[in-house]
Amino acid sequence: MVRESLNRSLQALEEEVEGLGQAVAQALLRALESLKTQDLELARAVVADDQEINRRRFALEEKCLELLATQQPMATDLRLLAAFMHIVTDLERMADHAAGLARITLLIGRTPLIKPLVDIPRMTEIALSMLEGALEALRRRDPEAARTIALRDDEVDALHDQIHRELFLLMIQDPRNVTQATYLMWASHNLERFADLVTNVCERVIFVATGKMEELNVSG
């Protein structure tokens, strides 16, 4: 087998991309935990750690560019590197939404929650399982799995709408709920965007596997 050095570099890069994905998943999980338990320390840590994710994203992008420039990859290798460059950007933006969720925790502070959190943890759970699935599909170069995962974005969108309706009702019932209800709407928005970005990753998985650009879940 020739091109051992390119193989090794691509493999190392892929592991790092996946590592970044895991870090993003952790960030979202911790952000949700901070919201549920109103743990301001944890929320601050999530916001602070976002800097590290940004740094890793730029470092990975630089490695992609370096391999493009020095190895002149073609076909699958070229598609993989092009996809990595997009995926790390998507992952970094997902992390921004995780940090956004943690910022909601900080905005709500110690004020008692106006409702028990049910749908927001549910949305988080789906978004995280989508991300795990997308990373797995990337590992396996599995376009079918990528398509299936992207379909779950509809579940997240439905929960997002449901949360909005519920929060509107709470605001109408008692104007004192408006401030926190608005924050929770933003929390839901962050999760909805997070899941959208997972579908972008799924599109890149399809591109790597088939060479075709396919837009997933355009209705959402």
Which of 87, 218, 201, 208 shows the shortest CA–CA distance to 142? 208
23: contact with another protein by CB under 8 A: no
68: contact with another protein by CB under 8 A: no
Q: How far is the CB of 35 from another protein (least distance, A)?
A: 43
Binding residue (CB under 8 A) for another protein from 44, 79, 115, 164: 79
CA distances from 172 to 89, 160, 168 (A): 39, 18, 6
Binding residue (CB under 8 A) for another protein from 78, 151, 170, 178: 78
Binding residue (CB under 8 A) for another protein from 73, 100, 133, 143: 73
Q: Pick between residue 21 and residue 73 the one whose CB is nearest to another protein.
A: 73
Stretch that binds another protein, among 61-69, 152-160, 175-183, 210-218 (CB under 8 A): 210-218
Structural element, H or E, at residue 215? none
Q: Pick between residue 175 and residue 213 the one whose CB is nearest to another protein.
A: 213
Which of 206, 164, 159 shows the shortest CA–CA distance to 185? 164
Q: Is 41 helix (H, G, I), strand (E, B) or coil?
A: helix
Which of 61, 58, 62 shows the shortest CA–CA distance to 84? 61
What's the CA gap between 130 and 167, in Å, rounded? Answer: 25
Q: Pick between residue 76 and residue 148 the one whose CB is nearest to another protein.
A: 76
The residues that touch another protein, with contacts defined as CB under 8 A, are: 1-3, 6, 72-79, 210-212
